Amino acid sequence: MVDLKNVFDAQDVDAMVGLATDVVNIPSETGFEGPIGDYVAGRFIELGCDVTLQEVEEGRNNVIARWGGKKPGPTLMFLSHFDTTTNPGEDLPRGYQPHATIEDGWIVGLGISNMKCAFAGFWSALQMLNDSGADLAGEILMCGVVGEIEKAPVDIWQGKRYRGGGAGARSMMNHGVTADFCVNGEPTALRLQTGNAGYLFIRIGIKGSPQHTYAKNRSVDPFPKAFRVHGALMEWESTYQELHPHPLMKPLISVGGIYGGYPFKPSITPPFCNLYVHVNTIPGQSILGTKRQIEELLRSLREEDPELETSVDIYLASNGYEIEDAHPVASAVALAHQEVFGEDVPRPNPERYSVSSDNSPLFEFGIPGVTYGAGGINMTGEYSMYEPGIGEVVKIDNLAACSRVYAASGVRLLSGSGG
């Protein structure tokens, strides 16, 4: 059995922090992840990994780094994504900028919580295993993927900057990368998450009948109708949750966008208004059945307003998944957390399961996974990626401890002691 004390004693925290700040300093908006992929590939080559760049589309590569493999055994995947949740803007605080700073033991900068810190955590785990001479069976894959962020092309928003929603992970799976287990470093605030809700992006179109302002009384204005649909969706959310109960997950509904009319010609009343809706699903829930439930809600509204004409289109879908707590990968991370922190691993609140991860597409290809990461807790102790007025933050001590959990999980899973 590998001595974990020797593994932990080998940790180079300064090098880990250096990598974490480096990756923040490389902008990586969805669609433009090429430079950060090249940097990460180079850093894992330094650890002796066999690294492959897998092209998803021009200028966007998944990075597959293989460590170990000298003895037969299982394959553990460490998974992280390159693209950032938000894009930098000059008017945003420093935690939303691709310029890392270290402030009182915290790393501040765009993407550090979601989820560039995971690259540093995985690198540190492999550095510990390397430098301690840990002799493990099987191999560890560090997979950095493009296009994870919940985005999808729709209407006038087209092109690679909108191709997210697990695009890189699905491409990776379609091209044969596989593993026995996955530990995903998404920002769970050092809580163990054994599943994800699925989600749908749905466009609800509300039809109008345009007229010039002088004849607006003869128009059908879709805007007030859209507001009514919005309110009905929010009121229906609790009914929807009752229709789809789950012991861990709480499926949520949110309207994240509205678009309609002619902004360049407001003298014409709007011919349409679209609502862009995020709907969570629980594992095993029918996508088509969910669409029909929303259509039924809209039909009930039309009974009260015969002029309400709507359409419902799904433009992104991802299934939910879950594994048992007793599964070897869940057990290994739980035991590793206990070894590092001296206490049982905490679990997320039901709403946290509504945050998507690439574990869902991996599960469809037979790879069971858990989510566990250092991000997701801010300076004031809230479960949030963001510190108010600052932006994304990660505590260095949390990241160092998280990387030790990753290393200990690898030891358990690759030495036959996964619990």
Give CATH 3.30.70.360 domain extents, the chain.
Answer: 198-318
Taking residues 50-72, report their average pLDDT: 96
Burial class (CB in 10 A: 0-12, 13-18, 19+), 369: buried
Cβ contacts of residue 216 below 8 Å, gap of 6+? 269
Is the pLDDT score of 260 beyond 60? Answer: yes
Element (DSSP H or E) covering residue 353: none
pLDDT value of residue 91: 85
Closest CA to 145 of 195, 186, 99: 186
pLDDT value of residue 382: 96
Percentage with pLDDT > 70 across the chain: 99
| Average pLDDT along the chain | 96
CATH architecture of 4-197+320-413: 3-Layer(aba) Sandwich (3.40)
Closest CA to 165 of 318, 355, 329: 318
pLDDT digits (tens, 9 = 90+) for 184-206: 999 999 999 999 999 999 999 99
Is the pLDDT score of 22 beyond 80? Answer: yes
pLDDT digits (tens, 9 = 90+) for 145-199: 999 999 999 999 999 999 999 999 999 999 999 999 999 999 999 999 999 999 9
Residue 41 vs residues 26, 78, 344: alpha-carbon distances, Å: 14, 14, 34
Q: Are strands 181-184 and 75-81 parallel, antiparallel or unpaired?
A: parallel
Taking residues 235-256, report their average pLDDT: 97
pLDDT digits (tens, 9 = 90+) for 215-244: 999 999 999 999 999 999 999 999 999 999
Q: State the pLDDT confidence band at 415, using cuts at 50, 70 and 90.
A: confident
CA distance linking residue 136 with residue 74, whole number of Å = 10
pLDDT digits (tens, 9 = 90+) for 80-97: 999 999 877 778 999 999
pLDDT value of residue 416: 60
Taking residues 207-217, report their average pLDDT: 96
What CATH number is given for 198-318 in this structure? 3.30.70.360
Is the pLDDT score of 417 beyond 80? Answer: no
pLDDT digits (tens, 9 = 90+) for 365-391: 999 999 999 999 999 999 999 999 999
The neighbour count for residue 373, using CB atoms within 10 Å, is 30
CA distance linking residue 280 with residue 247, whole number of Å = 15
Percentage with pLDDT > 90 across the chain: 96
Residue 415 vs residues 73, 75, 338: alpha-carbon distances, Å: 8, 11, 18
pLDDT value of residue 231: 98
Question: CB-hemisphere CA count at 13 Å for 344?
Answer: 3
pLDDT value of residue 128: 98
Q: State the pLDDT confidence band at 1, using cuts at 50, 70 and 90.
A: confident
